[in-house]
Structure 1
Amino acid sequence: MRIVFMGTPDFAVPSLEKLCEADLTDVVGVITQPDRKRGRGQNLQAPPVKEVALDYDIEVYQPQKVTSEEGLDKLEEWAPDLIVVVAYGQILGKEVLDLPDLGCVNVHASLLPKYRGAAPLHRALIEGEDVTGVTTMQMDEGMDTGDIILQEEVEIIPQDTVGSLHDKLATTGANLLLETLEQIEAGTAPRIPQNSDQATYAAKVSKEDGEVDWEQSARDIWNLVRGMNPWPGAYTYKDEELLKLWDSEIYDETASSDFTPGTVVKTDDEQGIIVQTGEGQLLITQLQPANKSRMSATDYLLGYELEAGVKLGEK
């Protein structure tokens, strides 16, 4: 089966590697986003998918727009039986979707129709889901609206962050993709229409989404911290200075006090910083002051003054 693979970030790497190693598939070309300037030095960096493709001696094409005349010409030159799309980052359009005989298959990091859109990992954690998963889908012109082929559930455990969940779903997605292609080859792959009445949308997250609203419950803030780690990071303010929150626990889900939400109730040299929320109390266990490295809350308390009664979130 001649495959053109479209993908860009780390999430797509296990899927590409799986296809390159499989006897079933012949990856004849890889399309990925152009190299971008990144980091403090603004050095030009290749997407992770490009680096893997070059390791396998696969031709790489990086168009600004895949639906351009040049992009369509390249696809016709490669003549794929099927296009696989994993976190590519561009809308394909009907010309691309209709080009291969077997169409285009997408690996999406949610149990569709829940969490269609750009940030299913972040939103599943922020919303406090206990289960998520991966869907392989026959693509159509809508936003993650195509027929479901296969799905696999993945449990979300309390220790999960976007980082850990990303790694689990990337591996699960790669395995599910190969199973999907085996069934397509055998002519046994199901096509299950999505129920749009059950659809939810996972909007892209921004840095502004990470600001903690201490009026929310301890559970909601705990989910936000997990759902913003490692990017873009949950944050609050102490004495008008930014304070990123990287790890936390629900200290007491029902505790109340005379303190208003956002107020430090207690500092504990062994546990961390206990903060009153709109419902219950949150224990901050890892944080990052402005222009400093991440540190445990106990280390923070050794070097910074923070006492009960201090109000967080005021700028």
Structure 2
Amino acid sequence: MRIVFMGTPEFAVPALQVLVNYSAIEVVGVVTQPDRPVGRKRLLTPTPVKEEAIKHGIPVLQPEKLRRPESVEELRELQPDLIVTAAYGQILPKSVLAIPRLGCINIHASLLPRYRGGAPIHHAVMNGDTSTGVTIMYMAEGLDTGDMISSVELAIGDSDTTGTMFNKLSAAGAQLLLDTLPDLLAGRIQAVAQNHEAAVYSPNVSREQERIDWSRPAISLWNQVRGLNPRPGAYTTWNGEVLKIWSCDKPNQSEVANTPGTVVAISEQGIQVATGAGILTITELQPAGKKAMQAAQFALGGRLVVGTTFV
């Protein structure tokens, strides 16, 4: 069985490893995003999926635009029976969807139709969901609209962030692919259509969604901070300086009389800030141009006092 795999970030690597190690499959090509400049030195860096493909001697294609005729032709020449995608980063055009005889399937990090789109893990954590999951689906021309093949549900715990769920869902997606492949390759799949009326979208996180609005309840801000960790990070401003907020204690809801954003206490546990409902205790933050540090360490440096207001 000839397989082409499409993926880009670390999330997709375990799924590629499953395919490489599956005896009934030959991965004849990998498609990933072009190398991009990374870091302060802007070094041109291959994607994690490309690095994994090179380890196994698999040919790699990196089209800037997959829908270009020459890119489609390169794929057609590989003669895949099936295309498997995971966080590839481009929508597959109809010309590509029509190439493999068994179709194209996608490993999506949510329980569809909830959280279609590019940031399903971020939105699940930011919205305070207590569970999410992975869905394997047939790909269609719409955004994550195809019929569902299989799924698995995972809990989101209080200590989870987008980063920890990224790792858990990556592993779960690879295992789900391994469990689904026998029926898929044997033609025993009974796919189920999505309820499109129940669809919830999760577009990429905007800069506005990163900013902390202290008038919101403390529990909502706690979820926001978890959902934006490890990237891009929630932030507030103080004295015109941007402060990234990386972690907070889970708050207890209670009404407070202080103006939202006001520092009401400083201790070894962190910086306590009034919100629209309850107190949020910041435990780790990062001043602009510096490394992340314990909030108490930042406050006890002498610059931050009770009564200070974050904006």
Q: Which runs of 4+ in 1 moved over 4 A?
A: none
Question: Which residue is equivalent to 1:267?
Answer: 266
- Give the 3-state SS of the residue equivalent to 2:230 in structure 1: coil
What letter is aligned with 1:65?
K
Question: Which residue is equivalent to 1:147?
Answer: 147
Contact 1:251 1:274 in 2 (8 A): no
Contact 1:206 1:232 in 2 (8 A): no
Distance 2:138 2:302 in 1: 54
1:211-261 per-residue CA deviation (whole Å, 9 max, x = no partner) reads 00000000100000001111110000111111110000234311413x100
Distance 2:302 2:243 in 1: 12
1:74-93 to structure 2, matched below 5 A, reads 74-93=74-93
What letter is aligned with 2:276?
G
What letter is aligned with 2:127?
E
1:107-164 per-residue CA deviation (whole Å, 9 max, x = no partner) reads 0000000000010010001110000000000011010000000000010001111111
Asked if 1:69 corresponds to 2:69, the answer is: yes
1:160-171 to structure 2, matched below 5 A, reads 160-171=160-171
CA shift, 1:208, in A, is 3.2
Question: Which residue is equivalent to 1:294?
Answer: 292
Question: Which residue is equivalent to 1:246?
Answer: 246
- Give the 3-state SS of the residue equivalent to 2:136 in structure 1: strand
Distance 2:55 2:252 in 1: 50
Question: Which residue is equivalent to 2:232?
Answer: 232
Contact 2:299 2:305 in 1 (8 A): no
> Could you list the runs of 5+ residues in structure 1 that have no partner in the other structure?
none
Contact 1:212 1:234 in 2 (8 A): yes
CA shift, 1:73, in A, is 1.6
1:25-40 to structure 2, matched below 5 A, reads 25-40=25-40
Contact 1:250 1:281 in 2 (8 A): no
Distance 1:47 1:103 in 2: 25
What letter is aligned with 1:83?
I
Distance 1:208 1:62 in 2: 32
1:21-73 per-residue CA deviation (whole Å, 9 max, x = no partner) reads 11122100001111111111111011110000000000001111122221122
- Give the 3-state SS of the residue equivalent to 1:28 in structure 2: strand
- Give the 3-state SS of the residue equivalent to 2:280 in structure 1: strand
- Give the 3-state SS of the residue equivalent to 2:114 in structure 1: coil
CA shift, 1:177, in A, is 1.3
CA shift, 1:290, in A, is 1.4
Asked if 1:21 corresponds to 2:1, the answer is: no
CA shift, 1:209, in A, is 1.7
Contact 1:238 1:311 in 2 (8 A): yes
Match of 1:284 among 282, 285, 303: 282
Question: Which residue is equivalent to 1:197?
Answer: 197
Distance 2:199 2:167 in 1: 24
Contact 1:241 1:290 in 2 (8 A): yes
1:166-222 per-residue CA deviation (whole Å, 9 max, x = no partner) reads 000000001111222211112222200000111100011133321000000001000
Distance 2:99 2:260 in 1: 56
> Could you list the runs of 5+ residues in structure 2 that have no partner in the other structure?
none
Question: For structure 1, which segment, 60-69 or 270-279, has the greater mean C-alpha deviation from structure 2 after superposition?
Answer: 60-69
What letter is aligned with 1:152?
V
Question: For structure 1, which segment, 68-77 or 227-236, has the greater mean C-alpha deviation from structure 2 after superposition?
Answer: 68-77
Distance 1:241 1:185 in 2: 56
Question: Which residue is equivalent to 2:184?
Answer: 184
Distance 2:270 2:72 in 1: 56
What letter is aligned with 2:87?
A
- Give the 3-state SS of the residue equivalent to 2:249 in structure 1: strand
Distance 1:191 1:117 in 2: 20
| C-alpha RMSD of the superposition | 1.0
Distance 2:250 2:159 in 1: 12
Q: How many corresponding residue pairs?
A: 311
